[in-house]
Structure 1
Amino acid sequence: MTTNKARARGRPRRFDPDEGVATAQQLFHARGYDAVSVADVTEALGINPPSFYGAYGSKAQLYGRVLDRWAITGAIPMSDILRPDRPVAEALVDLLEEAARRYAGAPEATGCLVLEGTRSNDRDARDAACGVNRAAEEAIRAYIAARHPDEADRLTDFVSTTMSGLSAKARNGNSLDQLLSTARLAGTAIAGVLPA
């Protein structure tokens, strides 16, 4: 008896590349891009280097996929917070408070994956993280400029700088209460510039 079923060639993949991206995201977030080696990733995924390079191309390309995944699963939902029906000052304070909550979230992965990546020693990874960060800053700037065009640049810089500081402080061990206190103090400054 014969069958027309085609047999798959080679060994079946022992790992799911998409699940590998999720695992790599945890590693990069917890340790930072520069501190994670290909060997760390292959060990965490239970694969060998050829399988790693076959699935992801390079560590920087994997990081790019991590940033894409992060945009869907871990990014601050800016479109939900920066809505046109809200007062700008109120929305910006909520954005900073949400950043504080997320940056303090999991004790093994504090801070912002993207902001920490903007300081990477690897040019490709740094460029990828900076691109994501610039897009977020542009969204904030556009939101402010729609109603307060004269304040858009300086307030965007202020909010972005505050978020960077919150991320750094979270990685240095500041508690959620400390981060929220800083976010609210920044909100007082924003309210002094913009009407509620």
Structure 2
Amino acid sequence: MTTNTSRPRGRPRRFDPEEAVATAQHLFHARGYDAVSVADITQVLGINPPSFYAAFGNKAGLYTRILDRYADTDAIPLADLLRPDRPVAACLAAVLEDAARRYAADPAAAGCLVLEGTRCNDREARAAARAFNLAAEGVIRHYIAARYPEDAERVTDFVSTTMSGLSAKARNGHGLDQLLATARLAGLALAQAFSG
């Protein structure tokens, strides 16, 4: 007598792709895009390279998924901080202070995943990070331009440059107190820029 116990063909998927993205996010954030190899990723996820490529296409494809997740879960909440009912300088200062706190929150994964990605060597990954960065700059520029159109470009550049510096300093070991001191000094400069 035979019994027909039908099993799905092929191997069952050994990992949850969303969980894998979360795990890989920490790896990329801690080491930087360039320092993480596909072998590192597959080892941490406990999968083989064919499973990795089937799920994500390539390393840059995984990184793009990570950036999407980062934007949804860990990025600075610009929509909450850039409020139309508060002074522009105060809101921008709040963005910089939030950045300082986030960049220093995990010493093992300091800085901004997006900003650090804009400096990686992989053209596809760098373009993905740059697109996220430009989108955030666009939100800031639009917010400033609603009340100070003539200042929007230069102040956006100042805020963006300050955020890049905060991220780089966090990667280099600056702690929360140092980053907040810099963010607050930049906040004073913003208040001065809009006082005239």
TM-score, structure 1 as length reference: 0.96
User: Is 1:89–1:195's contact at 8 Å kept on the other side of the alignment?
Assistant: no
Runs of 4+ in 1 over 6 A off after TM superposition: 1-5
Partner of 2:53: 53
Coordinate RMSD, CA, aligned: 1.7
Shift in Å, 1:167:
0.2
User: Is 1:117–1:126's contact at 8 Å kept on the other side of the alignment?
Assistant: yes
Report the Cα distance in structure 2 between the residues aligned to 1:85 and 1:26, rounded to whole angstroms. Answer: 36
CA displacement, residues 96-119 of structure 1 (integer Å, 9 cap, x when unaligned): 000000000111100000000000
Partner of 1:66: 66
| Aligned residue runs from structure 1 range 110-125, under 5 A | 110-125=110-125
Report how many residues are paired.
196
Report the Cα distance in structure 1 between the residues aligned to 2:3 and 2:79, rounded to whole angstroms. Answer: 54
- With over 3 angstroms needed to count, the CA separation of the structure-2 counterparts of 1:4 and 1:188, relative to structure 1, is same
Matched, 1:127 2:127: yes
Matched, 1:39 2:39: yes
Report the Cα distance in structure 2 between the residues aligned to 1:2 and 1:49, rounded to whole angstroms. Answer: 37
CA displacement, residues 7-65 of structure 1 (integer Å, 9 cap, x when unaligned): 32122111111111111100110000000000000000001101110111100000000
Percent of paired sites with the same residue: 71
Partner of 2:192: 192
Partner of 1:79: 79
| Secondary structure at the counterpart of residue 34 of structure 2 | coil
Amino acid at match of 2:103: Y
Shift in Å, 1:195:
3.7
Partner of 1:146: 146
CA displacement, residues 112-144 of structure 1 (integer Å, 9 cap, x when unaligned): 000000001000000000000000000000000
Report the Cα distance in structure 2 between the residues aligned to 1:84 and 1:61, rounded to whole angstroms. Answer: 36
TM-score, structure 2 as length reference: 0.96
Q: Any unmatched runs of 5+ in structure 2?
A: none
Report the Cα distance in structure 2 between the residues aligned to 1:11 and 1:132, rounded to whole angstroms. Answer: 36
| Secondary structure at the counterpart of residue 54 of structure 1 | helix
Shift in Å, 1:3:
9.0
Amino acid at match of 1:144: I
Shift in Å, 1:71:
0.6
| Secondary structure at the counterpart of residue 120 of structure 2 | coil
| Aligned residue runs from structure 1 range 161-176, under 5 A | 161-176=161-176
Report the Cα distance in structure 1 between the residues aligned to 2:192 and 2:32, rounded to whole angstroms. Answer: 36
Shift in Å, 1:188:
0.7
